[in-house]
A and B are shown apart, each in its own frame.
Chain A
Amino acid sequence: MIRHLLSGADLDAGTATEILDTAAEMAAVAGREVKKLPALRGRTVVNLFYEDSTRTRISFEAAAKRLSADVINFSAKGSSVAKGESLKDTALTLQAMGADAVVVRHSASGAPHRLADWVDGSVVNAGDGTHEHPTQALLDAYTMRSRLGRLAGLSVAVVGDVLHSRVARSNVLLLSTLGAKVTLVGPPTLIPVDIAAALAPGTAVCYDLDAVLPSVDVVMMLRVQRERMNDSYFPSAREYARRYGLDGARMRRLPEHAIVMHPGPMNRGMEITPEVADSPRSTIVEQVANGVSVRMAVLYLLLGGNNR
């Protein structure tokens, strides 16, 4: 097993599949009355969150607690970080406290890589800047596999602000490793021209959402950040929604079996309409539930739970 999970590229097909299979076993635990395993008893998992992200933090927290790990939440607010302590000093502090794993969310791309140089424990990237969010990609893959029965050969459209999306980067890497075909869809301002060369050579790019919808198994809508709207990436929110938003009419052009995903939090009415988000094709709530199982699997495997 790998020591850190920093990027979707850290996972080969075998390792990724092992995580997904383990997550399935973890999911079974969630159905029990006592949702707890002793696997990580006595181990310490630190959630180091420099960015507000309640959903991701509580998902990791629930995952660690269900494995009986001791969980320390270290958030930028109300800690020494707010007083300007450097990442390195924070890392040395966590090291001294004996953290077995550090789950880090940071607004700077690459911060988890730096952290991994400074601590002995495992580092899990819980989203770094505009770089990656590998556990999101794992839970997305898990969700696709549960709904559609396979990943190899699936056609997945990832729609929206690919340029700034850590979710998109990790998904392209992981889905390509697992044999799915990814098509990135969005305005040319938000899709780097060299994205396929940078991430996975088989990745396709299309600027026309309507052209790809009839032939996909999965359509994954990305959140469009508010700050992009005033930076000339597209003329207006309304035009964006018209060209790249998923509404009921577009959803009905999808194949019968196709699913709609969104990593959350959604801008309802912008990239996705409520009709789509709340439809039976939507996996958005499942994704959240699957997130806990997948993160349990990641922590369990990284901390050597399978060797004990």
Chain B
Amino acid sequence: MNSYLIRNVSVLGAAPTDLLLRDGVVAEAGPGLSAPDASVVDADGLVALPGLVDLHTHLREPGREDAETVETGSRAAALGGYTAVCAMANTSPVADTAGVVEQVWRLGREAGLVDVQPIGAVTVGLAGERLAELGAMADSAARVRIFSDDGHCVADPKLMRRALEYVKAFDGIIAQHAEEPRLTEGAQMHEGEVSTRLGLTGWPAVAEEAIIARDVLLAEHVGSRLHVCHVSTAGSVEVLRHAKARGVRVTAEVTPHHLLLTDSRAESYDPVFKVNPPLRTAADIAALRAALVDGVIDIVATDHAPHAVEDKECEWAYARPGMLGLETALSIALDVLGPEWDLIAERMSRTPARIAGLTEHGHDPAPGAPANLTLVDPAARRLIDPAESASRSRNTPYARMTLPGRIVATFLRGEATVLDGKAVK
């Protein structure tokens, strides 16, 4: 194993110090460390964060290896400062059996760039009709704890109740894609002034809010854990605030794009801005940002959704929804929150690790902690060029934008996955 001596790094914005990574852990911390056998990383001006943890990543393998593989997605994640990602279940075949989740888990280990934690489907084939073998996935080598039909809502209230109850046996959690399907038939973008002008079928905010309201009541009724994926509306924030005040065991995520981009992006009819749930209004963005700061929204999750060129270079209505996110998430967080390092660590590493049960992740770099960390240059600004993405896909909505912050290095269990801003493998 390699050892690394990181010199003059600011741990979460504190005064510069040195960190010695050895045997997979942070062995020592303090100014003026010496370790002749260690590779030295000059971290002047850099900030160390616990390795980021993404609770919502689409890696597309198996099934759409032309859009992303576990390996290319892992590389994009490492370059974005992540040390762990949770891989969504909507692959082909669907990750609804122990066999598929173990395959994804094994591919993640082989890539070795981040820890890939598979998410299992709630229902067989994401069809929303009967429960998948949740226990078998939980007991598999992948040790699945998060279950989600993401991309589809578990719309049937009885099935949702049963799923919430059933996973209590192994401390599982249901991550809901909150979208009332009857209210979003044919929906293309946020329902509002812009959709009216563009003649695109609207996706009303109430379709999300109604499901979240139902689900927090169900979770309260059965005493289960609920996680709400990609919260996108101001109304959802109020429902969550109310539920949390009542003590419901609910957590919620917001994506970087819902913190930054509004529905006016659809005016170009460029489907790179088509995403589900859709981009909302400036008022929604303001509410989501405030909720992320005050904790009503617990985490930032990317909903990294790679798509092949032909699935985006077409008419809006025919395009698949989704955006890349792993390589830009930290920059968006910096842009939106400013250099609030403790808050960023809380929302992008510690809390998502806790929700996912990833005990090796989400620890601030300190002696004895697993050496899962990332080094950020907060002063850097970078122009986003889709062609430079490590993802196999190019559907970033931030093309030609200049964003703050750059990941310089990432370490997974003490081994560098990124050095000098480049993936090591």
Q: Show the binding face of A for B, using Cβ within 8 Å.
A: 86-88, 106, 108-111, 113-114, 128-132, 166, 169, 192, 194-195, 197-199
Contact = CB atoms under 8 A, between A and B. Distances in A.
Interface of B: 188, 192-194, 196-201, 268-270, 310, 313-318
Nearest to B199: A131
Contacts of A169: 197, 199
- Pick the 7 closest A-B CB pairs, nearest first: A131-B199, A110-B269, A108-B315, A198-B196, A130-B199, A109-B199, A198-B197
Given A86-B314, A88-B314, A114-B315, A109 B200 contact: yes
B396 to A, nearest CB: 18
A130 B188 CA distance: 12
15 contacts: A86-B310, A86-B313, A87-B315, A108-B317, A109-B188, A110-B200, A110-B317, A111-B269, A114-B269, A129-B317, A130-B199, A132-B199, A169-B199, A198-B194, A199-B196
A contacts with B: majority SS: mixed
A109 B268 CA distance: 11
Contacts of A131: 198-200
Contacts of A166: 199
Given A86-B310, A194-B192, A198-B193, A106 B198 contact: no
B91 to A, nearest CB: 24
A169 B198 CA distance: 9
A197 B193 contact: yes
Contacts of B193: 194, 197-198
A86 B315 CA distance: 9
A110 B313 contact: no
A199 B197 CA distance: 6
Contacts of B188: 109
Contacts, number: 61
Contacts of B200: 109-110, 129-131
A108 B316 contact: yes
Nearest to A166: B199
B269 A113 contact: yes
Nearest to A164: B199
Contacts of A106: 315
A192 B198 CA distance: 12
Contacts of A199: 196-197
A129 B195 CA distance: 13
A108 B315 CA distance: 7
Contacts of A113: 268-269
A129 B199 contact: yes
Considering residues B268, B313, B315, B317, which has the most beta carbons from chain A within 10 angstroms of its beta carbon? B315
Contacts of B192: 194
A197 B192 CA distance: 10
A109 B196 contact: no
A233 to B, nearest CB: 13
Given A106-B315, A114-B270, 8 more contacts: A86-B314, A88-B313, A88-B314, A110-B269, A131-B198, A195-B196, A197-B193, A198-B194
A262 to B, nearest CB: 20
B30 to A, nearest CB: 57
Contact of A111 (B194, B268, B270, B315): B315
A198 B269 CA distance: 16
Contacts of A194: 192-193, 196
Contacts of A86: 310, 313-314
Given A86-B310, A132-B199, A169-B199, A109 B194 contact: no
Nearest to A199: B197
Contacts of A88: 313-314
Contacts of B196: 192, 194-195, 198-199
Considering residues B193, B197, B310, B318, which has the most beta carbons from chain A within 10 angstroms of its beta carbon? B197
A92 to B, nearest CB: 11
A88 B315 CA distance: 9
B251 to A, nearest CB: 33
A110 B318 contact: no
Considering residues A108, A132, A199, which has the most beta carbons from chain B within 10 angstroms of its beta carbon? A108
Contacts of B199: 109-110, 128-132, 166, 169
B404 to A, nearest CB: 30
B306 to A, nearest CB: 19
B318 A108 contact: yes
A182 to B, nearest CB: 15
Contacts of B194: 198
B290 to A, nearest CB: 24
A41 B344 CA distance: 65
Nearest to A131: B199
A199 B317 CA distance: 21
A110 B270 CA distance: 9
